[in-house]
Amino acid sequence: MIDTNCLFCKIISGDIPGTIVYRDEQTTAFRDINPVAPTHILIVPNRHIESVATLEEADEALMGHLFTVARGLAENEGINKRGYRLITNHGADGGQTVFHLHLHLIGGQRMKHPMG
């Protein structure tokens, strides 16, 4: 199901342009418009899921697929050997600004620590 008010749903449907780097029947991945590292890709389910808090048992395979897609994209981007970060945020205090579940694949430079 697509949410017509959701920015990411609009990118998935093609109503808003995005630099798509991967797409299949379950997932779309596109470059973040405000990257924090040389590689910053958002990996989203094609079906609108608001956040981690709204996941259901039936979504377990989809979530595994998101991580498998992330691994493949990291290889394609050449960041798999040196390392990268996968992040998902939940809620305003967690830093979620678009309420469509997504993974941030971030790499291509040494990550800063501590987070938060």
- Residue 2 and residue 9 in contact, taking contact as beta carbons nearer than 8 Å: yes
Q: Give the architecture-level CATH label for domain 7-107.
A: 2-Layer Sandwich (3.30)
Per-residue pLDDT reduced to its tens digit, 24-43: 999 999 999 999 999 999 99
- According to DSSP, the β-strands at 39-45 and 27-31 are antiparallel
pLDDT of 116 reads 61
10-residue block means of pLDDT along the chain (116 residues)? Answer: 86 96 98 96 97 96 98 98 96 93 96 78
65 is known as an active-site residue = no
pLDDT of 114 reads 75
pLDDT of 55 reads 96
- Residue 48 and residue 9 in contact, taking contact as beta carbons nearer than 8 Å: yes
Given 40, 100, 102, 104, the catalytic residue? 102
Which residue's entry shows tokens 């779309």?
A: 28
What is the secondary structure of 49-111 as a DSSP string?
Answer: ---GGG--GGGHHHHHHHHHHHHHHHHHHT-TTT-EEEE---TTTTT--SSS--EEEEESSPP
pLDDT of 72 reads 98
pLDDT of 1 reads 72
Extract the tokens encoding 12. Answer: 């998935």
| Global confidence as pTM | 0.94
Q: Which residues lie closer than 8 Å to 64 by C-beta, 6 or more apart? A: none
